[in-house]
A and B are shown apart, each in its own frame.
Chain A
Amino acid sequence: MGRRSIHLNPFAAWLAAIFAGTLSGTASAQGLLPEGIVAWQAGYRSYKSQENAFDANFQLRPIGADYTMRFDNGMLLSGKGGKDLQRLATVLQTVGDPSETALDLGVLQQHVSADISASIFGFAYGASKDMTVFVGAPWTTALVKNRIEFTGTNNAQAILDRLGNIAFDELRQGLEQASLLDVATIRNSIESEGYGPIDRWQYSGLGDLQIGVKTAFNIEVFDGMPIAFEYSPSLSLPTGHADDPDLINDIGLGKGYVSIGQSLSQRMQLTPYFSAGFDQMYAYNVDARVKRRVPEGTESIVALDRKTNVLHNPGDDYEIGAVMEFGAGMFKGNLRFADHRHFSDRYTGSIAGNYSKISANSDTELITQEIGFSMNTVEAFQRKEFVIPYIAKITASFPVAGLNSPNFEYYEFSLTSFLDAR
């Protein structure tokens, strides 16, 4: 059974995007808050129940498929079934005959579903006419359910019967135990290694905190058609739940390390009703010392005594997007395509082991399309045609393709309003 860590990690970009989207629709021409203005924002994002994920071949597969384990000879020899079964398979390979003593203990299937949602709370403040500072914190909830079933034919007893009295004690005991392999045995085996319950994991708590600043400026590239640039450095702090080495089915709702990001966007108003632009984000992720269980080989269940402090050298992130906006008056719609990428992580530590297995599949990519609709009363409020300045926005995001990534389809509603602190 492999570790599961759904790379949720949406909040850093989410905060920036919400404010970017929000502020770009405010009275400030450059997308900044006017000096002394405070913006507050609340939002809710609901992810579609996660049952599928993109694999290393950009194919969408059930999450459980990655953890379907055929307990056959090759798998057992590789050690993925644990040391005891590896020893048993090795012994049989050493003294048996593949035609009669190759183990096939059955297939372990897992049916995993993950329900994730997040609430966002953020504040922004126009520190000057050229700079807005912001801070945001998500509150995350997750519920992972894992239904395990064991199917197929277990041939351990048949092998033992074939060997008869020639099976020496260790082999006999190993085959007898292997013949009893079932869900409960596997669950007990996993939990005996100090792992938490594997059937269900539930979490509710703070996500990664993000703080940042934003500045904006216009450059007139074409006559009468300025391009609006926004630049926003930010800092993400690892306050959310990161991968727990003692849990099999938890989700990394936070990064687990400090991330220093900067984003740049360009917008051009092509017609009074249509604008288009691009945005880019790059985040440098800082090394962190974390606890991990370091496998000796390719085993999926790693012994508790293999848990140790390791140096996590995370790969960096980037995101590029293209956006089109259209609409008039208080109502606007937008369409955005984006590519989110996280490069491979690396782990090192003082004990010998297979560190590359910890970072397997950490190279992720997700290409998404988003469609949004917003109602913005700020200008109407300024014209005293509306009593409350607010921006309400609904967004739907659909994955197009992915690499080692969850199938993040989500729906989001956010409400932003303003206070005059001058």
Chain B
Amino acid sequence: MPIPMRRIFNTIAVLLTAQALVACQWIFPGNFIGSQGGAQDTPRANGDLPKLYENGYSEPNPSESGQEAPLPLENDSIRVNFSGVDILKGSAVRERFQAMDYDELLWAVADCECAPRWSHRVLTRTLETYGSLPQVLVPQVREAILKDKRIQAVLQLPGGADSVISKIFASDSQLESTVRSNLLAQIQNAWQNPLKIGSSGKLYFDGFAPLPWQIPARSTGNVVRPDGFDVGSLAARWLLVASPPAPWMTGPGRSRQNLPLEQDIQLVSWARMMAEINYVLGVKRGFDGRIYGGLMLNPRDPSGNLLGFEMLPATGAPLLGLSGRLKIAYQPMSSLKLIVNGKEQWQRQAGSIDLSEQVLVWRAGAAIFKNLRLESRKYPAALFGSGDANIFPADSQRLGLAFLQGIQVLLGEEMVALDTMSIGDSYSIPEQRVQRSETNLMSMVRVANVLTAWSQEIQSIDSSGLSESDKTVVRDALPKLQDALRLSVLRSLRRSTDWQAFESGSAALPVAKQAELIATLARVEQQMMRSGFVRRRIAVLGQKLIDNLSEKLDSNSQLDLSPEEAIWCREALFRLKSYSANEAEIAALIQTIDAGINAWDAAVSI
């Protein structure tokens, strides 16, 4: 078959310009909620998953489990000796803290914002980590690549994405490199300030990256992508990204001295997180009219299918939640072919929706909303808007509200039930009924934490930049949230077994949890719901905690606390100052613990 002359010219053009591939309007604004029509490229929840292949990578080796992985942040797990940071190294750390739950530490750090180096390191390592959703399947990346005329020309060559030319000039590594540099350029333009992060080869824009310590081992020399992600871990990372004030709240050039790339990392982390949220919610419609993503679960849908907001039935309010462990599969092919033909398939492992996981999602949602409120966007204005130069939609704060909807649904059903005065540990989607019981004490406390955060956001909703109709909907939700908040506080205090264990100083409730309980409930009491009843109980609990800490002081006035314990104890003691007559003792303890936390954070290598 003769080759048309037009194709030849196109091929030459590609040869000349492929290296300068312009990618990616990446996190571009769009009408991300409510647009109509178009084909849907949504994940398929059911059906057999094809064998997992990666672009040129080997199959995952089951023996390379996360447990055998090296601890990438050894300093994280060091117990703090507060007269001087006693850093244990290597195998000693691994042996002692192998079972350490990093999500717990991350939750604590996100709450206190007191460990900037540690946070910076986690965010950096996350950006250096491959995600579950391949870069070229990130909707914004996919769209930008497909829109490029030169790629379109390559695709018109004989063989299209499989052609020799595409393998030479649009190889996986070239695409990856180009995407990276162009995305960074895009962010830099919107930020209106130079990014010092450069086009680091270590940064990946893949969605849903696991936490660094969950990376499989590389002992075989092969890089293994994870085949999915846990919503809880994802939400914990979102929380870490969104907890400190976003760069646009403080303005360019505000990176701390000891963290020179702090704002760059935060900006890129935000961009990556927003892409993930767009995908999860299934609200991003591509230039081709297709909707990418949609990993939400309708708690009332017995099929358990995953879907996005635009796939909801026309009637009824959205009932979506994000939950569980989600696994991805796609056919083995080159990046370019994957962009063109790949249809990722997601499947949620069957099971109930756990409260402990949802707490992370809801708390992250509140933090995201807080940072995206209109009044938070102080510098520079180009970050938000509907133009090509903007990287976030003008109404991007609505993304946070999507998680508020999930709270409302689950509060109104089984999880927080005012009629039975109970807080359940899980929500079962229809036909997957599981035995439900009252959740544990700490999940109750964290429900209080979440609802406090959301209540505070809603109370100042006027300055959020939401539309009047959105504000009305959100305001209407407030009484129910606050009643649930009150129930969670009261029920937390009432849990007799845990209470007794706590009061008796039993090890049933570790120090970190004791302190978190006090810190959270006292914050509710001081910031939201004044109550002598709660105050008196917290004072009693607080004295127990102070006694416990005093007993832990050794002869050199040193405390042996883990970072998580130290963070929560500091917050609890800070709150207890207004409840206790013994302010001097509390202040001394805070000073000691503060010094320890600072020393621990300072010891984190970046």
> Could you list some 6 contacts between A and B, CB below 8 A?
A94-B494, A95-B493, A96-B494, A163-B533, A166-B490, A169-B483
Per the bound structure, the CA–CA distance linking A91 and B418 in Å amounts to: 9
Per the bound structure, the CA–CA distance linking A162 and B491 in Å amounts to: 16
Interface residues of A: mostly helix, strand, loop or mixed?
helix
Query: How many Å from the CB of A241 to the closest CB on chain B?
Result: 42
Say whether B479 faces chain A, with CB atoms less than 8 Å apart: yes
Q: Are B534 and A166 in contact (CB under 8 A)?
A: yes
Residues of A within 8 A of B493 (CB): 95, 97
Per the bound structure, the CA–CA distance linking A165 and B527 in Å amounts to: 11
Q: Are A165 and B528 in contact (CB under 8 A)?
A: yes
Per-position 1/0 for B213-229, Cβ under 8 A of A: 00000000000000000
Q: In B535-561, which residues have CB < 8 Å from any A CB?
A: 536-537
Residues of B within 8 A of A167 (CB): 486, 531
Q: Are B532 and A164 in contact (CB under 8 A)?
A: yes
Q: Are A166 and B418 in contact (CB under 8 A)?
A: no
Per-position 1/0 for A126-162, Cβ under 8 A of B: 0000000000000000000000000000000000011
Residues of A within 8 A of B479 (CB): 169
Say whether A170 faces chain B, with CB atoms less than 8 Å apart: yes
Residue numbers of B with Cβ under 8 A of A are 418, 421-422, 479, 482-483, 486-487, 489-491, 493-494, 525, 528-534, 536-537
Closest to B422 in A: A94
8 nearest interchain CB pairs?
A95-B490, A164-B531, A166-B531, A165-B529, A168-B486, A94-B421, A168-B483, A162-B533
Residues of B within 8 A of A164 (CB): 529-534
Q: Are A170 and B418 in contact (CB under 8 A)?
A: yes
Say whether A100 faces chain B, with CB atoms less than 8 Å apart: yes
Per the bound structure, the CA–CA distance linking A171 and B483 in Å amounts to: 10
Say whether A90 faces chain B, with CB atoms less than 8 Å apart: yes
Query: How many Å from the CB of B120 to the closest CB on chain A?
Result: 38
Per-position 1/0 for A40-66, Cβ under 8 A of B: 000000000000000000000000000
Say whether A236 faces chain B, with CB atoms less than 8 Å apart: no
The residue in B479, B483, B529, B533 that gathers the most chain A C-beta atoms within 10 A of its C-beta is B533
Per the bound structure, the CA–CA distance linking A233 and B528 in Å amounts to: 79
Query: How many Å from the CB of B495 to the closest CB on chain A?
Result: 10
Say whether A364 faces chain B, with CB atoms less than 8 Å apart: no
Closest to B499 in A: A97
Closest to B485 in A: A168
Residues of B within 8 A of A97 (CB): 493-494, 533, 537
Say whether A101 faces chain B, with CB atoms less than 8 Å apart: yes
Query: How many Å from the CB of A276 to the closest CB on chain B?
Result: 68
Q: Are B531 and A95 in contact (CB under 8 A)?
A: no
Per the bound structure, the CA–CA distance linking A38 and B491 in Å amounts to: 80
The residue in B421, B530, B534 that gathers the most chain A C-beta atoms within 10 A of its C-beta is B421
Query: How many Å from the CB of A73 to the closest CB on chain B?
Result: 15
Closest to B525 in A: A166
Q: Are B487 and A95 in contact (CB under 8 A)?
A: yes
Per the bound structure, the CA–CA distance linking A83 and B83 in Å amounts to: 60
Q: Are B487 and A162 in contact (CB under 8 A)?
A: no
Which of A90, A161, A169 is in CB contact (< 8 Å) with B532? Answer: A161
Residues of A within 8 A of B529 (CB): 164-166
Query: How many Å from the CB of A90 to the closest CB on chain B?
Result: 7
Closest to A170 in B: B418
Per the bound structure, the CA–CA distance linking A101 and B494 in Å amounts to: 11
Query: How many Å from the CB of B330 to the closest CB on chain A?
Result: 48
Q: In A211-239, which residues have CB < 8 Å from any B CB?
A: none
Per the bound structure, the CA–CA distance linking A94 and B488 in Å amounts to: 11
Contact A168 to B482, CB < 8 A, known contacts A90-B421, A95-B494:
yes
Q: Are B421 and A101 in contact (CB under 8 A)?
A: no
Contact A165 to B531, CB < 8 A, known contacts A94-B421, A94-B494, A95-B494:
yes
Per the bound structure, the CA–CA distance linking A169 and B487 in Å amounts to: 10
Residues of B within 8 A of A91 (CB): 421
Q: Are B486 and A162 in contact (CB under 8 A)?
A: no
Per the bound structure, the CA–CA distance linking A70 and B493 in Å amounts to: 28
Per-position 1/0 for A158-199, Cβ under 8 A of B: 000111111111110000000000000000000000000000
12 further interface pairs, Cβ-Cβ under 8 Å (given A100-B536, A166-B534): A94-B494, A96-B490, A100-B533, A162-B531, A162-B532, A163-B531, A164-B531, A164-B532, A165-B486, A168-B483, A169-B479, A171-B486
Per the bound structure, the CA–CA distance linking A121 and B89 in Å amounts to: 108
Per the bound structure, the CA–CA distance linking A165 and B487 in Å amounts to: 11
Per the bound structure, the CA–CA distance linking A187 and B422 in Å amounts to: 33
Closest to B532 in A: A162
